[in-house]
A and B are shown apart, each in its own frame.
Chain A
Amino acid sequence: MGFIRKICSVFHDDWCSKCQSKMDERKRQLYMLPMTVGHYVSHSNLDYYKQNLIKVNYKADIPTGTYACGIIVYECPKCNHRAVKLSIFLPVRDEEKYEDGMYLENGEMDDFIWK
């Protein structure tokens, strides 16, 4: 059973990779990524996101043709393990065009998220 849960946890962002329990959503925030449609460049360096992400409250606050980044912080209620999911997408009318994503489990973005 534990083995199956371990495999399943790979496919669930909100499952703890340490104890395979369902994690709680601790924080969810939307940011604007100042890159326009047709000019998206993927960045593996997290400092880029820390320097450029602009906090917004609603998707409507993001100008047309500009990328958005959704950050979700998960925390395991059993082992307190924390994970951060970054989803970069282009909001288009009522749809979202998913562009890139990152799953961070070692607190790489903590200084930015909790500042």
Chain B
Amino acid sequence: MPETAGQTFIHTPTPGLPEFDYIKPASLTAASQFLAEHAGEARPFMGGTDVFVRMRDGFWTEKYIVNVKGLDGMNDVTFDPTTGLTIGASVNMNRLIASLEVKEHYPLLAEAAHTVASYQLRTRATLVGNICNASPAGDTIGACMVLDGTLHIHGVDGMRKEPLSTFFVGPGQTVLKPGDIATAITFPIPPAGYAAKYIKLGRNAIGDLAIVGVTALGFPDRGAPSGYRVRLALASVAPIPLVPTQAEAILAEKPITEATINEAAQAAMDASTPIDDVRGSARYRKLMVKNLTRRAVTQVWEQIRE
């Protein structure tokens, strides 16, 4: 039997990176144009924490790696008390975590970023890269979603905005087209009186991918029958970062009690469609969605009530 017929063939990564051309365009326009002209064989890169690993492992085989760091203000963190926060695409996570504005107004971003990999990797890893990588396990994606983040995209037709709610298509897949470069993410001023929490369940204390991640952000809202709204996002339990809308609706509609929180947690569990893999079983993941949603919502609720 030739080995290619073997069902048990093991993937053996090569010791080094495959050959590629490194492109450093002078402007966003040039970058978008190059990426569009080489669709399928060029990839933009920021910190490279996913790009180089996936290339070394043989999963990505692009001929061109296009460095888009440092183009047109992509390395800035700015905060405006009326319009909110802008984080440039090449701002690394350690800078994000250290930013005083982030700490004061968006501590959830820092909390979520802090659970990504290790300090060393966070000197390269970026928030926008974490989003564009579109892993269902992405630790910061939930925070960006509940904080109502909007991606700013430069494409061959110029700048446009993409809301995160419709950004993800499948594991590793987004609505981005060849030539698109995410330049920044912006966040509006968070709702008054809000509190938020990211609970990550990993196999060990630090550095792991999430078996399950639950992000919750709650705030008082007179327009909601319960007087509150709670935004939720779930990691690693569906092909894309999942918003359990039914659970959110329950928390908006019914007076928030332990029973309501349990009902919402159950709804979150019912909405999730995890798979079995080496990190955990689907069964355990579903059970953890329930328990950790309950825990996250309870903690948020305790902070926002009265």
| A-B complex is real | no
Residues on B lying within 8 angstroms of A by beta carbon are none
Interface residues of A (CB under 8 A from B): none
